[in-house]
Amino acid sequence: MTSTRRFPAPVSALALARAIDAGNLTPATAIERSIAAIEAHDALLGAFVATDFDAARAAAATATGPLAGIALGVKDIIDTHDLPTAYGSEIYAGHRPAADAPVVALARRAGSTVIGKTATTEFAYLQPTVTRNPVKPDHTPGGSSSGSAAAVGAGLIPFALGTQTGGSVIRPAAFCGIAGFKPSFRLIPTVGMKCFSWSLDTIGLFAAGIEDIGFCATALIGRPLRVDGRDPGAPRIGVARTHLWDEASHDMRAALETGARKAAQAGATVVDLEMPAVFAEAFAAHRVLQDFQAAQAFAFEVDHHRGRLSEILREALDHGASITPEAYDLARRTSRQARLALKDLFAEVDVILTPSTPGAAPEGLASTGAPIFNKLWTLMGTPCVNVPGLTGGGGLPLGLQIVAPFGRDLRALEAARFLEKALGA
């Protein structure tokens, strides 16, 4: 079949690093390639909201460390001292933080070159950006980390930072056909990102494939998360269709069955999981916790700039303000009960396999898609990985989600790489 793709293929961060280590490429040349790709393609893609190529060139000329030559896109919800941080809102247009968020400082320390700020939905909620899908530009790239996922998916940069409060890393990674990693809650510091919900906000990573994610994560935070060149063995996988299975498209249902079958053929032990009723209750609790906290986190914006907030965000904040402390506390108790039940489920399996999204990326830019297959796991604080490699009937990517126990991020990446290989990548 002839490809109709308008953008380059995703670029492997690990392959770039190896070429630089071997002396076949310089960091400056690698960054120049990303600059050229952005200049050639971002007018159509719309992934970046701010760039400084002169500063990027200067940084690359002296870069050292494992991420030297790796161009990084930073979601515009995360502070940077040398580029504006508008949080996807006109309220903060031109805002220049005094310091980098710690995650950005760590990336620079590891040698990465911050090449620009990537588009986010307004305050990382649901109001869409102008960013397009890199596989089919008339479809959404997902959100809220729209620009980060699209820029990596379109081959403009090899590495990007995003955030997830509901499904804002896993969903756009799935829609854009790349790897996405939402680590365990608080594994990566969220200081310096605009808070939406302090119990849920998590910084995550985008890269071409699972090995690239492991490489970049290791370089970024110093934990042993690399999965390249390793054979951790076949995992025990539990397939969780959840109470939302009826919301999955025909293509997504087929994709999940394909992933389970291929994993079993590759040697994994695959079983079906029955999800206790408390998980459906916890799914509902996610919105209570999120909106209650958001109403407090955005007190200033509501009091001083309410008319400049989108209608969809105002509705969420009004809903949050209407939630009683008693209802909020009940949601917190429900989430704790679900975490205990999840611990029991993981006594039977190493990881859980479930859809990343209800289906392929919706057509048009009026919606970023639904995070319904992500919210529960964000609430649980567990590491989640989008595994690319499957497509639906329309040629758009379909992602499968690997979930591991809290704190078992390496296990999640190992199982994700096992599945990625089983799918033929």
| pLDDT for res 1 | 37
Confidence check: pLDDT of 2 > 90: no
Q: How many other C-beta atoms lie within 10 A of the C-beta of residue 222?
A: 10
- Spatial separation of the C-alpha atoms in residues 404 and 183, rounded to whole Å: 10
Q: Round to the nearest angstrom and report the end-to-end CA distance of the chain.
A: 18
Could you write out the DSSP letters of every residue in 228-264? Answer: TT----PPEEEE---TTGGGS-HHHHHHHHHHHHHHH
- Spatial separation of the C-alpha atoms in residues 374 and 365, rounded to whole Å: 21
- How much is the mean pLDDT over the chain? 97
| pLDDT for res 101 | 98
- Write the pLDDT tens digit of every residue in 52-88: 999 999 999 999 999 999 999 999 999 999 999 999 9
- Write the pLDDT tens digit of every residue in 297-351: 999 999 999 999 999 999 999 999 999 999 999 999 999 999 999 999 999 999 9
- Spatial separation of the C-alpha atoms in residues 151 and 154, rounded to whole Å: 5
- Whole-model pTM: value is 0.98
Q: What structural domains does the chain harbor?
A: 13-221 (3.90.1300.10)
Q: How confident is the model at residue 4 (pLDDT cuts 50, 70, 90)?
A: low
